[in-house]
Structures are given as structure tokens and as C-alpha cells.
Chains A and B, each alone.
Chain A
């Protein structure tokens, strides 16, 4: 590449007019005191290119222009996102919902989440409450029976029966006949394998529970009859009282 020394400060490449693929190449064929148009174009092209070629020097003026260009590029790049498809739409088109509608949507979402949370919690509680029945079967089975928890039970004389008033809610069906359940006594770890497996001993427990329910029904009927008789007596007393008063 040929250069023409202009004084002591600048080096100007001198070009011929034959162009090779649209870009002039400096040669030493033609010398001129005045830089040519191609020289300016080349310098300005370099000064405003994305990357400054390492081996192509810029004169002083174009170095300053290069700095201006770099500042200009930096400003554009920081001010604009030139990534693909950054499409902004006019505000009125972009706002698809009004504020009340958005509040409504938010409220619906919140309510849905709340209901979901409650449902999950209830399901979890239900699962927790079913587990102790199976597991407590082996732990508390030896203590009490249903009959022990019915101090007023008088099967032999239904007429003298009084309604039970002190039936503990903690009494579970599993506690009725603990000793008849060998599984719960001998193999306590079996439940850990399959908590929901049906065991034959539960049939007996169910039968006992069924009998207990029948007993309660019978006693309830007897109590009902007793109440009827008492109310009948009250009616009689009332009639007597009315007659006496008259």
C-alpha cells in the first residue's frame, strides 16, 4: 500500500482511479497535493465503520470524527433496544381491560386460591384424622370397651333405662373389642405397610358397632316411650289442675 507523506504530520494514501470490486486501492501511480474524493470516502468509511481496521490508519481529522462516531453509536445503543420484535402498540389498544375489570379478575383469582387452599387444608386434615384410627387400634385397644363407657346401660330392663349422658366422643369403634384383633396385638408394623388394607377382625368390630347402634336405638325408643308417658302424665296433671281451678 502506497502512502504520500504530506509534511511531517500526515500520511495520505494515494489511489488510482481503477476500482476493484467497488473499493479503491492506494497506489503510488498518481500523486496529488489535494486528497482525492476516494481518499475522503475511504477515511470516512473507516471512521464510521462498526470496527476500525487495525492496519488502516486515520488522519488526525478523521480520528476525531471516529471519536464522534463512536459517541454517536454508543448513544444510539443505550437509548434504543434494537433487538428483534420490540413492538409497542398504542396505549388504548394495549389496555385490553379497564381497572374495575382488572380488580374483578384479581378478586376472582384470589378467591380461587383461597378456596383451593382451604380445600387442600381440609383434605390434609381428613387424611390426618383417618390415620390415627388405624394406628391407635393397637395402642389403646386394651383399655376400655363400649360397655364400660355406658354406665347407665340396662339391657335387661329397658323401661328403667335413662338416656346416656356421658358417652365420650373419643370412644372409637376400634376400641370395642381390642383383644379379638390379633393383628393389632401381634403385628403392629403391618399397618405401616398398608394402612388401608381391610382386616378380618374389623368385621367383628363392625358387627359390635352395629349391635351398639341397635342398642342405642332400642334405648332411645324406650326413652321415647318414657317421655311419652311422662308427658301424658303432665297432660293429666294439667287437666286436673284446670278442673280444680274451675
Chain B
């Protein structure tokens, strides 16, 4: 194993340890399906692994990964109509059976998840992407504009309108 390969492997391991949860949370919030979120997250890291050698270290690994994940989610949304999926309730039941949390913790988490999904469903896809990139990636709006290829003003507008759209639901849940 060359030194470069060893460095890449170490870097990838570090990415996985530090950013897996963030990327999965971001994807899950967008697709709202744990199984799809797992697949997309895995694919994100697979692609990151392929290109880890080309990555130049700039302290922006999370943004880099979220950028890949965001594109994959957009691709997934395009393909979604062609998919044959299990009914959501059945899948959710199967998923819940295999969660390892305590029942009360699981119930609380599930309730919060439902409220979050409810709030996110009030948003347009653009608003959702902007808010989630802002939260998970802690990106500047200019960076979000670069990823989404929208003008900064549009990004700002999506952020502001997204928060306004969720206001009632958020305060009800709080």
C-alpha cells in the first residue's frame, strides 16, 4: 500500500466516522424513507471513496459529501416515479421492529419525526434543500447557491419563506 493510498483510506475512514450521521440525517429529511436514506448515504460514501484521491483538503469535507448526497437525492426524486415500493405503513412497521432504542425513546423520536416530516412537507423541494443544507452542512448561502446553481437571492428567499411556511407547525410542536 502506498503512502497516498494509506492517506486516502485514513481520510475516508475519518469522513465516515464524522459525517455518516449528518449525511444520513440530511438525506432522511429529504426523502423521509429510512431505507432510501441508507441507500443514498451508502452511495454517497461510495462515490466519495472513488474520488477521495482527487479531493484537496480544505476543511470542507462535510460540504463536499452533502453536495454529492444532494445530487443523489435529486436523481432519486427523478427516478422515484418509476419505483414500485412497499406501502409506507408496512415499511415503517418493519423498520420499527428493528430499531434498538428503548420504547419510550423510540416513541418520542417517532413523534418528533412525524412532526418534522409534517413541517417539511409544508415546504417546496427547493426550500427544503436550502434549509437542510444550511442546517446539516452549516453552509453559507453562497455555497448553497453554488450547489443548487440558483442565485443567492433565490436561496435567501427560499430560506426565509421556508421558515415562514413552517412557523405555525413548528410552534405547535414546540
Stretch at the interface among A78-86, A135-143, A147-155: A78-86
Q: Apart from A78-B109, A89-B38, what 10 extra A-B contacts exist at CB < 8 Å?
A: A48-B134, A48-B159, A65-B163, A68-B164, A72-B166, A75-B115, A79-B112, A79-B116, A82-B24, A86-B24
A91 CA / B153 CA spacing, docked (Å): 44
Q: Which A-B residue pairs are the 4 nearest by beta carbons?
A: A79-B112, A71-B170, A82-B21, A79-B113
Q: Is A50 an interface residue (CB 8 A)?
A: yes
Do A84 and B20 have beta carbons less than 8 Å apart?
A: yes
Please measure, in the bound complex, the distance between the C-alpha atom of A22 and the C-alpha atom of B153, giving whole angstroms. 16
Number of interface residues of B (CB under 8 A): 46
Given the known inter-chain contacts A22-B140, A84-B17, A85-B20, please indicate yes or no for A75 contacting B112, CB distance below 8 A: yes
B153 engages A37 (CB within 8 Å): yes
Please tell me if A73 contacts chain B, counting CB pairs below 8 Å. yes
Contact of A44 among B18, B113, B135, B156 (CB under 8 A): B156
Q: Establish whether residues B25 and A41, one from each chain, have CB atoms under 8 Å apart when the complex forms.
A: no
Interface bits A64-76 vs B (CB < 8 Å: 1, else 0)? 1100110111111
State the Cβ distance, B28 to closest chain A Cβ, in Å. 7
Q: Which of B28, B108, B112, B138 has the most CB of A within 10 A?
A: B112
Judge whether B69 is part of the interface by a CB distance below 8 angstroms: no
B133 to chain A minimum Cβ distance, whole angstroms, is: 11
**Does B142 reach chain A (CB closer than 8 Å)?**
yes
Q: B141 on the interface (CB 8 Å rule)?
A: yes
> B35 at interface (Cβ–Cβ under 8 A)?
yes
Interface pair A68/B170, CB less than 8 Å apart: yes
**Distance (Å) between the CB of A185 and the closest chain B CB?**
67
A90 at the interface (CB under 8 A from B): yes
Within A88-139, the residues touching B (CB, 8 Å) are: 88-91, 94-95
Contact of B38 among A68, A75, A79, A87 (CB under 8 A): A87
Q: Which residues of B contact A74 (CB under 8 A)?
A: 174
The binding surface of chain A is classed by DSSP as helix
Asked whether B94 is an interface residue with its Cβ less than 8 Å from the other chain, the reply is yes
- Judge whether A211 is part of the interface by a CB distance below 8 angstroms: no
Q: Is A171 an interface residue (CB 8 A)?
A: no
- By the criterion CB–CB under 8 Å, are B170 and A75 in contact? yes
Q: How far is the CB of A147 from chain B (nearest CB, A)?
A: 74
Decide if B171 is an interface residue (CB 8 Å cutoff).
Answer: yes
Judge if A190 is at the interface, Cβ distance under 8 Å.
no
Listed in ascending order, the chain B residues whose CB lies under 8 Å from chain A are 16-22, 24-25, 28-29, 34-35, 38, 94-95, 97-99, 108-109, 112-113, 115-116, 119, 131, 134-135, 138, 140-142, 152-153, 156, 159-160, 163-164, 166-167, 170-171, 173-174
Do B29 and A76 touch across chains, with their CB atoms under 8 A apart? Answer: yes
Asked whether A68 lies within 8 Å of B109 as measured between CB atoms, the reply is no
- Give the complex CA separation of A45 and B16 in angstroms: 28
Partner of A78, one of B112, B131, B135: B112
**Which one, B97, B115, B171, B174, contacts A79 given CB within 8 A?**
B115
Against B, the Cβ 8 Å flags (1 = close, 0 = not) of A22-33 are 100000000000
Bound together, the chains give a CA A40 to CA B154 distance in angstroms of 12
Q: Report if A68-B167 is in contact (Cβ < 8 Å); known contacts: A80-B28, A83-B21.
A: yes
Which among A49, A64, A75, A95 is the interface contact of B116 at CB below 8 angstroms?
A75
Set of chain B residues within 8 Å of A87, measured between Cβ atoms = 20, 38
Contact B115 A41, beta carbon cutoff 8 Å: no
Chain B residue nearest to A89 (CB atoms) is B38
User: Given that A37-B152, A50-B138, A75-B112 are contacting pairs, would A85 and B16 also be in contact in the complex, using a CB cutoff of 8 Å?
Assistant: yes
Complex: A71 Cα to B115 Cα, angstroms: 11
When the two chains form their complex, are residues B25 and A44 in contact, meaning their CB atoms are under 8 A apart?
Answer: no
Given A68-B163, A83-B21, A88-B95, check contact A75 B173 (CB 8 Å).
Answer: yes
- CA distance in complex: A65, B141 (Å): 16
Candidates B25, B95, B97, B164; contact of A76 at CB < 8 Å: B25
